[in-house]
Structure 1
């Protein structure tokens, strides 16, 4: 597994060198054009020029292969640069000694194909987000596009007004096609830049910059052609190569797995591009009063100004609509739901006494992990796709609103408990299908609380409060959905009170760590301990993890709790090291902590700061984390293992059935779940399963630790099967550090290896 990971790193480094080779070739090509003088030069214009075309093509195809040809933007862009390079090759090989070529020629086919294919790439880049953008954002985008097109049409006036020669209609059409395509390309780019709600990935500015340079070179070329002053070998030829090089930077990032929050958020003020576009359009119209402008430029400028005036004409309506609309998803927001609900509920109540309505409160499970691991922009795109699926799965008369974050409300008019439950099941089925985000397959689920009108509330506030209690019940029980019951009310109050107390516990040092020893079954020595968190509640006494960990996860406090437990455990390891107890301390890690891409480095810093050997720490993870995102798990675990930290799989055998991760991921130890150990004495099949699992671990070079050893029979059987270590109440329950030290001292006082030593309890 290590060789494969290193090979992957080496391949990535090789791809980066290829990208930098592109820029080196562009620099050499530019210098060559500046030095060789007028007219074509074979070394510069053919060999160097073609390398600046085809090396970028190679980078684009590598990105397409990395994305398995599933990303439309990368695929269309790859085809665009390929056709452009092929056309350029034909041009330089077929031109005469003076650098001339009959016009039009087959080269123009490839050159012209670049534009629709690149336009298709831009459309593919933003298509999935357009539906979720607010109407005002789309209007700003249209203003930006038309304004840019108006200016370019005015600049290209000499080209666009070329007279049609009846004997050369094809040549005229091809000649005009270039500036028209440039006009469309610049318009689309300006439209994207004018829509701040769009997120088009890392290094998006390089794609836009490359296309702008490409279009600018086309404009200058067209003007030189009209004046008859263009020849092959001008420094202008380097502009197309530079444009391709900038696009290479974008596609190199687009074709790689993303690590950490995206850096593609744009900082341009929301109205900057539309304002500049309107000013430019007004400039075109003003200049048109003194100098004759092409009809195309005047029409585009007029449309720009007209569209920009729409918000002024309908300002009140737009403001009212925006106040009721969620900016991200385009759904009604909380304000709209509160405004519409009274009338809907009144209609339902007046229609017939036996008819009911229902409010469903939907919350995505573990949505915070998506934001922490993939970035908030990817989380936003997930919410847009979720809103689309919810709208599609709902009945026509249902009202869907986004309340904020990952919370959605659905109001079903004239629907009882049975109908609401059916809708909840269909919504969960709709969200169970995989979402595709930036080339990543993301799975999510939802918990849904249901409150019924009028039995469980006579207004929206009451329904929301009770639906929230029901939703928490569904989330804590992992049942998917739950209909509010009267007993949930006290549970909700208890939950809120416990949550407040838990936040205080995190900041007020109420969390304590207990330690359970691990025994080497061959020697009887204590080789390590597992650190287990407890909550020393000021009124309820010592609380076990099952009493509060679910609430910690739901409230987003897991990362803070994990940091506290790690810190306390490592501090204790330092004390034990000084006392001569070289014990490995194992700490449980939740998936929500490990998805934070910076957390592995933070763990390493905590160990280093205490001058502990990295091997003194073992992190216990679950199979769910390993299987939910194999690439991310490999990256996180590889970085931890490189630092010397050991990795154990906790509760082995209770998660996913696939065992391929044992081969692919850097793991040191498996911890066999207690559900396999407990029945060994009375169940031959269970004993056989334990023995075969131990053999499997050893065949893969892994250590096996048995959890939940509570009898001498289990202890002896595990030793006979060759299990490496064991922990459980038979040897010692989890105890505070001071009690563990006394327990260790008592063990050392006995004769090593004696039965009393093994069975000594605290």
Structure 2
């Protein structure tokens, strides 16, 4: 990347500064400056002071004065350069300034300006430091100050011998400024374990060089051993050059994100530990030699702060330990006690002999919420469930989330009546609507009840029996069930059937039978309805009523729906290849159609088989529509947009049907058999059928009657203008091979009363 002219000039200044510094150090290292003394002490010395200031100001202008620490550092280095220029020029002219003089004030400006720059830089580099870490820094500062006070004691003693209070004040100001500077470096250095930015390290090291030069100079002057032109004189320009490089670095990383704190292990304790040992060492030394009161005072403060730091750390560790214990016993999602907490509390409570009741709650079809709306929505719903349950817990009762969508309530002093009363209240509370991220979710809950001590004397036994009772409530649809010894047998049977169902879904034990939909005018078969059966290896062919309820409970309806869709459309594809143009209708349960991914999955299955979407019809029930009309409208609209047909099954058995007809995109109404079967003998039933047919046609919908069992009903529906019909009068649901034979017989002349399978007319399944 090509550099700008200003950047090139700035880099040139940096190179020149470093080169002159190397030359200056080389001259000082020679040791004999008799021939080149004026050059070194004059021009070269001043250049090493002014070039860092110039570099700093170029960084200030490049950042447009937006970095306060850079401005402060530039001003500090400039003040030092001005003071040095004043002193060197006056000395070379034979008029060395007296002590004290205005040049000392200029020199002393360096310290507050640079201290401010260092504090601003540290705050920017470490913005998320805790109060405990700042306390560590303070301990480190006072520990370093105590040690430095001992080192500078000869300087302070010498300053006190100066004539006049002003001379004493100025003489003391230098070592005290160095003490403050080194203390600040040590304190902020205690934060270095926080992965301080490399740019800040340049500033800290540069200041350390500068302060070290001051300390060595002061000690040599106090001992009358200082000689101008030694390597010690190079430490000042080295420190200034490092500060200038820091200024350039801050400009280059202007938009860099500050580093995050990362204090761990020994680094956390190193700074306060070293400072404490140092302060203690100063106090011990004070018992054997005469130390200044300043050193003793600083050591005392450092030890007091170290003690306070230890106390704060102890309190925090105790709080963290208590918090960890709470977290170990608390469900992080709902804030309720977890299974471990329930076990611990119940172990104590179940020893006093008082009667108690355990309620085990499990949300119905919760897996569908996670599958269709995502686990995030499911988690938010669980939080709301926990809040509703809290409102029904007494002060001496226990409420816990066991995991997933399971909750437990241990009621104090409760028998069957009290347990059932609370269970009914909880069932009603949870069965309401949950509004999660603008989505209305309808839920219900199954509750199993076990009693102490009748059903068990420990929590594990009570949980097992409440679990059996809960599944009994779920399978029967009662919502609440109290454990009975008979349920143990049913529970074992349920576990066996559960495993068999899971096996059936993966081993092609589910088969489809097809029932024709016959045109009531010309007798032609326009389509068929696919109905699932379970070809059980031991019990034979099982109708849906034997297993669909358990499939719902286990959250396997999505898998079953996909199996039925793929099988039905595979058969439709084979029929089309054989010249049979038949639409295939597939029933979707209420849980099967809450999946927002359903339209995409249906479209993908059709595309895989190369079938037009019109070949598929999906039959839904009003049960689904009652759950969430907005979601129903969205899903059905997406299905219709792909070309798939939608039928409303069992029409007339739900509520608000007219509202559904107005709002939802439908192609077909299927009138429930409860209206069709009695229409020949009951005028009111016939009137309902007639008005429903007229309503469907006025809305542009196809009308299909279910449950046609006799010729009389068939003819009556035909006279009323019903479009299609299904029922045992024409054919019961049969395998695809039998249906093909039945169709061939009709086309060979059987007509409506031709070959069909008759028998007892149970409800269609």
Band the TM-score falls in, shorter-chain normalisation: 0.5 to 0.7
Alignment equivalent of 1:341, drawn from 337, 341, 346: 346
Shift of 1:502: 0.5
Which whole-Å CA distance do the structure 2 matches of 1:759 and 1:548 have between them?
28
User: How is 1:5-404 mapped onto 2 (pairs within 5 angstroms)?
Assistant: 147=128, 312-349=317-354, 356-404=355-403
SS of equivalent to 2:638:
helix
Task: Give 3-state SS (helix, strand or coil) of 1:750's partner.
Answer: helix
| Structure 1 position 627, deviation (Å) | 3.0
Give, in whole Å, the separation in 1 of the partners of 2:570 and 2:392. Answer: 53
| Residue 273 of structure 1: how far off its partner (Å) | 7.6
Q: Is the 8 A contact 1:148 1:277 kept in 2?
A: no
2:754 is equivalent to residue 757 of structure 1 = yes
Distance 1:311 1:499, change over 3 A: farther
Instruction: Please report how far the alpha carbon of residue 310 of structure 1 lies from its aligned counterpart in structure 2 after TM superposition.
Output: 5.9
Q: Deviations over 1:385-410 (max 9, x none)?
A: 21111111122221111110111011
The answer as to whether partners of 2:706 and 2:725 remain within 8 angstroms in 1 is yes
Quickly say closer, same or farther: Cα 1:585–1:318, change in 2 above 3 A.
same
Kindly state the Cα deviation for residue 150 of structure 1 after the two structures are TM-superposed: 8.9
Give the C-alpha shift of residue 661 in structure 1: 2.0
After superposition, the Cα gap between the structure-2 partners of 1:305 and 1:428, relative to the gap in structure 1 and judged at 3 Å, is: farther
More off after superposition, 535-544 vs 320-329? 320-329
Q: Deviations over 1:527-572 (max 9, x none)?
A: 1111111111111111110000011111111111111111111111
Please say if residues 651 and 657 of structure 2, whose CA atoms lie closer than 8 Å, have aligned partners that are also in contact. Answer: no
Name the structure 1 match of 2:415: 416
**CA–CA distance in structure 2, aligned partners of residues 276 and 595 of structure 1:** 49
Q: Deviations over 1:562-607 (max 9, x none)?
A: 1111111111111111111100000111233322222211111111
SS at 2:353 equivalent = helix
1:606 is paired with a residue whose SS is helix
SS at match of 1:594: coil
Alpha-carbon distance between aligned partners in 1 of 2:310 and 2:643, rounded to the nearest angstrom: 64
2:644 equivalent to 1:645 = yes
How big is the shift at 1:275?
Answer: 5.7
Structure 1 residue 274, shift from structure 2 partner: 8.0
1:741 aligns to what? 740
From the superposition, tell whether residues 548 and 495 of structure 1 become closer, same or farther in structure 2 (CA, over 3 Å): same
Query: Judging changes above 3 Å, is the alpha-carbon distance between structure 1 residues 316 and 149 closer, same or farther for their aligned structure 2 residues?
Result: closer
407 and 552 in structure 1: CA distance in 2 versus 1, 3 angstrom threshold: same
Q: Is contact 1:146-1:304 (8 Å) kept?
A: no
The 2-side partners of 1:645 and 1:330 are apart by 45
Per-residue CA deviations over 1:421-457 (Å, capped at 9, x if unaligned) read: 0110111232244333223333322111111122222
**8 A Cα contact 1:147 1:277, kept in partner:** no
User: Partner of 2:22 in structure 1?
Assistant: none
Corresponding residue number in structure 2 for 1:657: 656
The aligned counterpart of 2:718 is 719
Classify 1:651/1:304 alpha carbon distance in 2 versus 1 (closer, same or farther; 3 Å): farther
Q: Structure 1's 307 and 273: CA in aligned 2 closer, same or farther, altered over 3 A?
A: farther
Following superposition, the deviation at residue 504 of structure 1 comes to 0.5
**How far apart are 1:656 and its partner, in Å?**
2.4
Q: Which range is displaced more, 610-619 or 320-329? A: 320-329
Q: Deviations over 1:130-186 (max 9, x none)?
A: xxxxxxxxxxxxxxx9948999x9xxxxxxxxxxxxxxxxxxxxxxxxxxxxxxxxx
Contact residue 372 and residue 595 of structure 1 kept, 8 A: no
State the secondary structure of the residue aligned to 1:560: helix
SS at match of 1:591: coil
Residues 576-595 of structure 1: pairs in structure 2 closer than 5 A: 576-595=575-594
Q: Does the Cα contact within 8 Å between 1:651 and 1:671 map onto a contact in 2?
A: yes
User: How big is the shift at 1:372?
Assistant: 2.3
| 1:362 to partner: Cα distance | 0.7
The answer as to whether partners of 1:360 and 1:420 remain within 8 angstroms in 2 is yes
Q: Does 1:491 align with 2:496?
A: no
The more displaced of 512-521 and 421-430 is 421-430
Hey, what's the Cα distance between the residues in 2 that align with 1:307 and 1:623? Answer: 64
User: What TM-score do the two structures reach when normalised by structure 1?
Assistant: 0.59
Provide the rounded CA distance (Å) in 1 between the counterparts of 2:350 and 2:513.
Answer: 53
Q: 1:462-611 alignment to 2 at 5 Å?
A: 462-611=461-610
More divergent stretch after superposition (492-501 vs 377-386): 377-386
Map residues 608-647 of structure 1 onto 2, 5 A cutoff: 608-647=607-646
**Aligned Cα RMSD in Å?**
3.5
Matching residue of 2:697: 698
SS at match of 1:447: strand
Spell out, residue by residue over 1:86-113, the C-alpha distance to the aligned partner (whole angstroms, 9 max, x if none): xxxxxxxxxxxxxxxxxxxxxxxxxxxx
The 8 Å contact of residues 469 and 492 in structure 1, kept in 2 or not, is answered as yes
Q: Which range moves more in the overlay, 439-448 or 555-564?
A: 439-448
Displacement after TM superposition at 1:459 (Å): 1.8
Structure 1's 760 and 589: CA in aligned 2 closer, same or farther, altered over 3 A?
Answer: closer
Q: What is the rounded CA distance, in whole Å, between the counterparts of 2:391 and 2:341 in structure 1?
A: 20
Change over 3 Å in CA distance of 1:513–1:433 after alignment to 2: closer
2: CA distance between counterparts of 1:454 and 1:669? 57
Q: 1:347 to 1:146 in 2, by over 3 A?
A: farther
User: Whole-Å Cα distance in 2 between the matches of residues 459 and 612 of structure 1?
Assistant: 59
The answer on whether the counterparts of 1:594 and 1:600 sit within 8 Å (CA) in structure 2 is no
1:683 CA displacement: 2.0
> What is the distance in 2 between the residues matched to 1:666 and 1:309?
67
Q: Any idea what the Cα deviations from partners look like across 1:720-747, whole Å, max 9, x if unmatched? A: 2211111111111110010111111111
SS for the counterpart of 2:532 is strand
Contact 1:345/1:413 (8 A) holds in 2: no
Look up the match of 1:196: none
For residues 457 and 523 of structure 1, do their structure 2 counterparts lie closer, same or farther at Cα, with a shift above 3 Å needed?
A: same
TM-score of the superposed pair, with normalisation by structure 2: 0.58
- CA separation of 1:276 and 1:558: change in aligned 2, threshold 3 A: farther
Mapped to 2, the partners of 1:731 and 1:684 lie a distance apart of: 24
Say whether the 8 Å CA contact 2:730–2:752 is kept in structure 1. Answer: no
Partner Cα distance (1:426, 1:307) in 2: 48
Residues 1:459 and 2:458 are matched in the alignment: yes
1:513, CA displacement in angstroms?
0.6
CA distance in 2, matches of 1:306, 1:385: 41
How far apart, CA to CA, are the structure 2 residues paired with 1:578 and 1:483?
56
* Conservation of the 8 A alpha-carbon contact between 2:368 and 2:555: no
Check the 8 A contact 1:513/1:565 in 2, yes or no: yes
Change beyond 3 A, Cα 1:305–1:585: farther
8 Å CA contact retained: 1:627, 1:661 = no
SS at match of 2:580: coil
- Kept in 2: contact 1:677–1:690 (CA 8 A): yes
What is the rounded CA distance, in whole Å, between the counterparts of 1:696 and 1:500 in structure 2?
46
Separation of aligned partners in 2, 1:476 and 1:746: 43
